[in-house]
Structure 1
Amino acid sequence: MPATTPRALSFDTAAARYAAYRPGYPPALLDTVEELTGRPLHGSRTADVGAGTGIATRLLLARGARVTAVEPGPGMAAELRRSLPSVPVVRGDGNRLPLAAASADLITYAQSWHWTDPERSLPEALRVLRPGGALALWWNVSDHTVPWIADQDARLHAHLGAGESVHGTPAGSGTRNLGSLPDAGFTRRVLRWSRTVPVDTHLANLATHSAFLVRDGDGGGSTRRFLTEERARLTEVFPEGTVEESYVVELAVLRR
């Protein structure tokens, strides 16, 4: 069984909601992955590690990649199998990949590298990659330069604690995402995109983050109160009932 923290496995309790409400990624992201890896995704033997419910897996498949999903959580893996029954799913995590040496052209971590120990997961990725293969890591981070997002982020910190948010660390300044990677070897890019969703979808997306999921020992009462108050605030800012969520995708690629 994977040695994964309880917080990382908290998503199992919200797998269906995670699949329904979490954002995807813009087409430009996979274009850039192809550019930086120097090879097309079509036909690439790809391991999508920390695949969750298959949000990135589905996009890789659409580009013709031959994907094996690696996921530690039983609930998330079950949701992935339900929606993508043709994709092989292997239980495991990045610290000890259940994959043969030199078996992958590409290893991807979509929103999941920060759940690993890089001193273990980086050597594991290099072991599994074929010569000329590549490791691609990326994160959706809310665009903190957008005023309403910055205001919401302050409220999230106040509710969850000073060190907690669900928006991610502002691009270029964080230790959790690209800032935690070694300087040598990785090529980095930042891509901006947005999606427009109903206020309720935005709030449901917030509630699928681990910072909320691990707090729900009270039956979710504090989360429900926060989201009710947040709905009222957002309705004032967006009276038409839709929110434009603005994101910065942080991407890092290492070629073997």
Structure 2
Amino acid sequence: MTSLSVMGVGKIGGEVAYLASVLGIADEICLYDSNAALAHAQALDILHTGIDLSVSTDPDDISGADIAVFSAGIARTPDIKTRADLLSVNLPAADDCAAFLEGYSGVLITITNPMDANNYYLHRRCSIPRERCIGFGGQLDAARFSGYLGEYGIPGDAWVLGEHGEHQVPLFSTLPGDVPEDIRNEILGKMRRSSMEVIRGKGGTVFGPAWHIASLIRNVADNTHAVLPVSCVLDGEYGVSGCSLGVPARIGQSGIEEIIEWDLDAWEKARFMEAAAASCALCRRADE
């Protein structure tokens, strides 16, 4: 049996709770939102599927969940240029949810943007060990990267490290052939713009993120030991400390079992260090 709490049950959080229910990933779910009427409505909507599971809206149940998802806060709009611009408006949501994570002993998955900074902030604010703080974003970025590789006829598995934002780092050195720098930069530019196309068309991304978040939850719940691109609080790995950043990590019931350090080529390493600098700067702002 796996218990899941979702803090912030709007578009993405609500869809994640629904997917975790219908896919049989969790059999106990706690839904929390600052809008209590929304949380109640989402709980009823899930129960009306007829699925046999327990659904609570009592925030006191959050701290007892095996897996907690932080998805509360303001989503990006066409007027918000980058995810980093959401830091000041979403820190209050992080503080609100942190109150329910006192002494939390499960695995925390952070979704709310800027995700890397929020993952680091909740790790420190709630004194949750870094191994149990997972930031979501790399799986979604990798799926987008895979689509662009297909457009260019480039084979191979897609991996994206770095920041979940402007400083994402698609890996080309892991692909079977050499990809020229001009093509790399073209694809990176497309990736940076990909979410905004969805936001302008429908007001926000939902299906892609929710599907990959549900997959991440399943990997934790099922103790798969799969290697996934997730944001981890770094302490010397890749020569970086004091921030959270996307890297390959082995995932299981205890959270991050192992951070795997891959050799990056010069193009990737330069961008990874730019990502580290950007993430560290945001984390210092969050700590102020």
TM > 0.5 between the two?
no
TM-score normalised over the length of structure 1: 0.37
Larger strand proportion of the pair: 1
Which structure shows the higher helix fraction?
2
Structure with the greater relative contact order (CA < 8 A, sep ≥ 6): 1 or 2? 1
TM-score (norm 2): 0.34
